[in-house]
């Protein structure tokens, strides 16, 4: 590896950590505004991503590495707060689908919408399409590495 490449790679760590800290700070403030805990916020994020399809409690449990019992407790709490509804699965009457309420959807977008709009505008003004392709490839790569290490930690490799 060339010394220029080594230097560039070495500089990435602190930049990525700073970005992660900013994401953590934003999430903490969003949770504070919504009056939910971190895990509840992660559930709400999953439901935003799921959109109109919603998600089953099992899908939420798998994504957040929670037991189905803890997801049930969390959904009870979020339903009481007016953030989610549960309904019968359209094709499997034994299953449940969880959706954001319209009010929760609007409240969440009031928080994240300005961030997304400004991020998009700033990125569009500062990067070419080719540069963004490189950034997307980079982010996909570091996300895959991060997820692999989350799996490693969940499987007990660190303890």
Determine the pLDDT at residue 43: 97
Determine the pLDDT at residue 10: 87
90 band by pLDDT with thresholds 50, 70 and 90: confident
Tell me the pLDDT of the chain averaged across its residues.
92
Residue written as token pair 């990067």? 127
* Residue among 120, 94, 116, 150 nearest 45 (CA): 116
Q: Say how far apart CA 155 and CA 60 lie, in whole Å.
A: 19
H/E stretch holding 127 reads none
pLDDT higher at 36 or 95: 36
Determine the pLDDT at residue 158: 54
Determine the pLDDT at residue 3: 86
Residue-range domains of the chain with CATH:
3-126 (1.10.10.10)
Give mean pLDDT, residues 129-141. Answer: 93
154 band by pLDDT with thresholds 50, 70 and 90: confident
CA distances (Å), 121 to each of 112, 117, 118, 124, 127, in order? 14, 6, 5, 5, 10
| Spacing of C-alpha 146 from chain mean position | 13
1 band by pLDDT with thresholds 50, 70 and 90: low
Asked if residue 159 has pLDDT above 60, the reply is: no
pLDDT higher at 4 or 57: 57
Determine the pLDDT at residue 129: 93
Helical segments of the chain, H only:
3-34, 38-50, 57-64, 68-80, 102-126, 129-154
Give mean pLDDT, residues 61-69. Answer: 93
Determine the pLDDT at residue 86: 96
């Amino acid at each position: 590896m060339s010394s220029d490449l080594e230097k560039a790679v070495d500089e990435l760590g602190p930049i990525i950590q700073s970005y992660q800290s900013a994401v953590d700070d934003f999430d903490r403030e969003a949770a504070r505004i919504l009056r939910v805990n971190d895990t509840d916020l992660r559930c709400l994020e999953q439901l935003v991503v799921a959109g109109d399809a919603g998600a089953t409690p099992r899908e939420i449990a798998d994504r957040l590495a929670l037991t189905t019992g803890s997801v049930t407790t969390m959904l009870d709490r979020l339903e009481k707060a007016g953030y989610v509804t549960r309904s019968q699965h359209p094709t499997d009457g034994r299953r449940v689908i969880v959706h954001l309420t319209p009010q929760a959807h609007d409240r969440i977008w009031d928080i994240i919408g300005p961030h997304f709009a400004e991020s998009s505008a700033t990125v569009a003004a500062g990067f070419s399409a080719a540069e963004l392709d490189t950034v997307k490839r980079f982010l996909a790569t570091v996300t895959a590495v991060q997820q692999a290490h989350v799996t490693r930690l969940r499987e007990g490799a660190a303890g």
